[in-house]
Chains A and B, each alone.
Chain A
Amino acid sequence: MAAHQHDENCKKMFSLLSEYLDMELPAETCKEMGSHINGCEPCAAFTESLRQTIELCRKYQSKELPGPIARDARQKLVEAYQKMLADRRS
């Protein structure tokens, strides 16, 4: 494959990679991209690294949790909920 043509395909791919991984592309485009990735080692490696980045986000664990809810704060929420129910009934 000529280096120039290869570069152009890679660039086109690069801009659509998230939509490809999210399966948001038309079937035809998706197929084209799949076959390009299969035959292009740098694109395959890059796609895999992007996929793992997304995976890491999905498994994100919070560093910190909020402190336990204060009694009066909870009470305010309970009152707001009860008021909403009462307003809806009236």
Chain B
Amino acid sequence: MADALSAAFAAMADPTRRDMVARLADGDAGVTELAAHYEMSLQAVSKHLRVLEDAGLVSRTREAQRRPVHLEVEVLDLMTGWIERYRRRAEERFARLDAVLDELKQPDAPARTRTRRAGGPR
């Protein structure tokens, strides 16, 4: 699972590939169809798609001839889920800061402070 995430983030580190993912979010598209949006050879576009495919972000259906590129949304969800965990942790921290600030805003009630200090090594 962790490796899938690394491959997905690495694949998404390229702006062209992010743009491709954004386009594929609207629906499946053929390679030539996609290539029309970029100033690069069909070969270069295919190379980008291969990286996305290896990372599990897109798949190519086995439909004869056309073989449209399909976005694998679950892998995207995996990525946003990973980020969301850290966002939530930060939000929890800031919500606690909200509570401290609310106390500081009360003119009569000085905020409770903890005075314990660490006596650790060094």
Q: Report if A and B associate in a common complex.
A: no
**B residues with CB within 8 A of A:** none
